[in-house]
A and B are shown apart, each in its own frame.
Chain A
Amino acid sequence: MTMQGLHLRAALFRSIRFFFQHQRFLEVDTPVRLPVLLPESNIQPIKAGSWFLQPSPEQCMKRLLSLGCPMIFQICPCFRDKERGQHHLEEFTMLEWYRLDCDYQDLMDDCENLLRHVFSELYGSEKTCTALAGSRLGTMPLEEPWERLSVAESFQRFSPVRLETALLEDRFDEAIVEYIEPHLGRSRPTFLYDYPAECASLSCLKPGEESVAERFELYIDGLELANGFSELTDADEQRSRFLKERELLGPELRTMELPERFLEDIARIGKAAGIAFGLDRLLMLLLSEQSIERVVSFSPADW
């Protein structure tokens, strides 16, 4: 990473903190080492002794929600084994925020406001604006409403494979990567929303339309930046999803106990929404870097 990049990284973090603190969000820092994981078959954890390094701060932040913190945010390292590539590092930096009594639409509004604030601050300062020269973000009309495209619409528009077929043949992820992602967020940022219930993860299903989940991803210039949803707070439903998910885990984790404390926590939350935002990728966009390794102080390749 260049010295200029290092300064921009610091300025970005400062600007994000200012945005949330100004709205009276509480900044939290929760333990990165956890004794128990939420079963997610597509995430490989990294062990730390008999515990694990957090794949995300979700568990702890939802406990804080349940304990009565209505608006919280955190910037922290997250760890996922075997994720390496142009857009992936096994250790990366996540911004997460959670709001009580809100849903995924509110989070989309948050994203728009957050990035508008950050860009105007970074472009407005002499110290940082030169680092942003040539960034694709500078050419996007961020002040206008961003595109909101449902997953179903995106398949109709871009995919030669029908959504139903892709789900049936377990080719949903492939279709998203091959046919859909390349078109998203090109002229302005895109929220891809209403994911099939099969891909709900920890989000709640849409009332009155239970084939989809209240979940979205933010894309800018073809790059996935954030995943947010209306939180599932029905502990019974969450337990049955965890049981299904645990079956798909590798032999070592399949025998893991369910996160009982987490299930107790979410039952106390009521309505809430939360989002995970990849800050290294946002830096890639700001600095026009093609590789995530170029926006962190040191990557595994630097040792």
Chain B
Amino acid sequence: MFFGASDLRKGLKILIDGEPHIISDFQFAKPGKGQALYRCKLRNMITGSQFSNTYRSNDKFEKAELEERKMQYLYNQGDEYHFMDTDNYEQLFLTREQLGSNANYMVDNMEVVVLFFGVRPIDISLPIFVNLLVTQADPWARGDTSGTDTKPITVETNYQLNVPPFIEEGDRIQIDTRTGEYVTRVKE
């Protein structure tokens, strides 16, 4: 499948020199009376290397076809994150570098989608929202009713983020995996 430059957008996966790349940042520019320019930051999904490039209206792109397989996240051992196909019990691992920020949102036994380029596992895709347990949070100073402040907390994956002050240790919160930001407190 082929795209034109006007189809480019953040998150799109395209082939460059035969390797899959994801557009990590995208900006459309069109200086007065000038031509449309599509400014992309790209990440090679195999090597992780990043670079910027500017494309023009006439440029054509081939979609990076990635195979998706539902797998279960088992555990991590240092930098290696192990997954299992629950149909055939086949196991594999991805490195911390390959997972990038996704590693912040994974808990044991979670179901994820592993992306394969050919036979090679290269990345995962997570649900947009995940619920994680708060493992460390300073108590809420109750006098503070401004409602605008936030405080830093830690969740069970050791990921740290800012949340509203009423969140306490033992709460479960929803996080948007696209931005890494707090969404809401969830009831058990």
Binding site for B on A (CB under 8 A): 40, 42, 82-88, 172-174, 176-178, 181, 199, 201, 215, 217, 224, 227
Partner among B6, B27, B35 whose Cβ is within 8 Å of the Cβ of A173 = B35
Q: Which residue of B lies closest to A176 (CB)?
A: B31
Q: Is the CB of A177 within 8 A of B28?
A: no
Q: Is the CB of A86 within 8 A of B27?
A: yes
**How far apart sit A257 and B34, CA to CA, in the bound complex (Å)?**
23
Residues of A within 8 A of B34 (CB): 42, 172-173, 176, 199
Partner among A88, A173, A178 whose Cβ is within 8 Å of the Cβ of B28 = A88
* Distance to closest chain A CB from B52 (angstroms): 10
Partner among A172, A177, A201, A227 whose Cβ is within 8 Å of the Cβ of B29 = A177
Q: Which residue of B lies closest to A41 (CB)?
A: B35
Residues of A within 8 A of B33 (CB): 40, 42, 199, 201, 215, 227
Residues of A within 8 A of B37 (CB): 173-174, 177
Q: Is the CB of B30 within 8 A of A88?
A: yes
Residues of A within 8 A of B27 (CB): 85-86
Q: Which residue of B lies closest to A218 (CB)?
A: B32
Q: Which 5 residue pairs across A and B have the least CB separation, nearest first?
A: A85-B28, A173-B34, A227-B32, A82-B6, A176-B31
B150 within 8 A of A: no
For this complex, 23 residue pairs linking A to B, each with C-beta atoms less than 8 Å apart, are: A40-B33, A42-B33, A42-B34, A42-B35, A42-B36, A82-B6, A83-B28, A83-B36, A86-B27, A87-B28, A87-B29, A88-B28, A88-B30, A173-B34, A174-B37, A177-B54, A199-B33, A199-B34, A201-B33, A215-B33, A217-B31, A224-B32, A227-B32
Binding site for A on B (CB under 8 A): 6, 27-37, 39, 54
Residues of A within 8 A of B30 (CB): 42, 83, 88
**How far apart sit A113 and B54, CA to CA, in the bound complex (Å)?**
37
Residues of B within 8 A of A173 (CB): 31, 34-35, 37
Sample of 8 more A-B contacts, CB < 8 Å, known A83-B28, A217-B32 = A42-B33, A82-B6, A86-B27, A87-B28, A174-B37, A177-B29, A177-B54, A224-B31
Most A C-beta atoms less than 10 A away, residue of B6, B28, B32, B37: B32
**How far apart sit A85 and B54, CA to CA, in the bound complex (Å)?**
15
Q: Is the CB of A86 within 8 A of B39?
A: no
**How far apart sit A215 and B32, CA to CA, in the bound complex (Å)?**
10
* Distance to closest chain A CB from B24 (angstroms): 16
Q: Which residue of B lies closest to A171 (CB)?
A: B54
Q: Which residue of B lies closest to A202 (CB)?
A: B33
Residues of A within 8 A of B36 (CB): 42, 82-83
